[in-house]
Amino acid sequence: MSLTVFGAPLSPFVRKVRLCLLEKGLDYQLEIVMPFTPPEWYLQLNPLGRIPAMRDGDLCLADSSVICQYLEESYEQTARLYGSDAVERAQIRWLEKYADYELAPLTTFGVFRNRVLKPSSGHPCNEESVQSALTQKLPPHFDYLEGQLGPKPYFVGDQLSMADIAFTCQLINMEHGGELIDANRWPALAAHFSKMKALPSVQSVLPGEQRTTAKLIEMGKKATQPS
């Protein structure tokens, strides 16, 4: 086995790479590397210290989008996740970037980090930041994405793409943080998310993440109990 992914399962960017590999039917191993305090050897793979990174034989790459596009171009006989022509590829890359850069600061670092990660390490949740993300900052993004999806089953073209996967990875972290997208306000996005969660690839990683999240939440409760 030559493909190794380095990172932590609850990272939406690690999840994105894992789902890409699973949809392409590529075997890999996951080596746990925690963000913020990576071991010294990991900085040889990614001097920025961020996750994920990936090794394919002698090649080492960092950044989830770079990794996924490499997999698309290098493993041509696998499922295509970046469209069938230049227009679709551009649209998919735009929506992938949109999810990574616009949703992640809110769904993952706004909701999930405050609700799950900070309490588990003994730090208080900034609920004001959570509510700001949910009520002020996320709705315009969801409005835009609802319009982009419309009545279509997928964001771009007639099959699953990295645009769908990137969006789903961010909503999973929001759900881990105890929040679901409002199906009354954004029915297309809510239906799309439900369909995506039912994919075998997602179902293969989600139960383990849910167990880990439950443990972290329990740790947070114990950490905030008066001694």
How far is residue 28 from each of residues 1, 33, 54, 104, measured CA to CA in Å? 7, 15, 10, 25
H-run or E-run covering 212: helix 200-224
How far is residue 106 from each of residues 39, 100, 102, 115, 137, measured CA to CA in Å? 27, 10, 7, 12, 8
Q: Is the pLDDT of residue 1 over 60?
A: no
Average pLDDT on 74-96 reads: 97
CA distance 149 to 160: 12
CA distance 192 to 189: 5
What is the domain range of residue 182? 86-224
Regarding whether 107 and 198 lie in a shared domain, the answer is yes
Regarding whether 134 and 52 lie in a shared domain, the answer is no
Tens digits of residue pLDDT in 88-147: 999 999 999 999 999 999 999 999 999 999 999 999 999 999 999 999 999 999 999 999
Tens digits of residue pLDDT in 187-213: 999 999 999 999 999 999 999 999 999
Is residue 190 within 8 Å of residue 182, measured between CB atoms? yes
CATH number of residue 93's parent domain: 1.20.1050.10
In our burial notation (b when 16+ CB lie closer than 10 A, e otherwise), range 150-168 reads: eeeebbbbeebbbbbbbbb
CA distance 176 to 9: 12
User: What's the pLDDT at 37?
Assistant: 85
Q: Assign 224 a pLDDT band (cuts: 50, 70, 90).
A: low
DSSP code of residue 59: E
Is residue 104 within 8 Å of residue 65, measured between CB atoms? no
Residue at 185: amino acid letter: R
What DSSP string describes 83-111? -SSHHHHHHHHHHHHHIIIIIHHHIIIII
Regarding whether 215 and 105 lie in a shared domain, the answer is yes
CA dihedral 178, 183, 188, 193 (to 10 degrees): 30
Q: Is the pLDDT of residue 225 over 80?
A: no
Residues 6+ apart with CB under 8 A from 120: 216, 217, 219, 220, 223
User: What's the pLDDT at 223?
Assistant: 73
Regarding whether 165 and 129 lie in a shared domain, the answer is yes
In a domain, 32, yes or no: yes
Residues 6+ apart with CB under 8 A from 13: 7, 51, 52, 64, 100, 104, 169
Regarding whether 71 and 92 lie in a shared domain, the answer is no
Regarding whether 126 and 34 lie in a shared domain, the answer is no
Tens digits of residue pLDDT in 23-72: 999 999 999 999 888 899 999 889 999 999 999 999 999 999 999 999 99
Regarding whether 154 and 128 lie in a shared domain, the answer is yes
Q: Given 48, 75, 102, which residue is the final one in a domain?
A: 75
Structure tokens, 166: 């990137």
In a domain, 80, yes or no: no
In a domain, 133, yes or no: yes
- Number of structural domains found in the chain: 2
Q: Assign 220 a pLDDT band (cuts: 50, 70, 90).
A: confident
In a domain, 81, yes or no: no
Structure tokens, 90: 């551009």
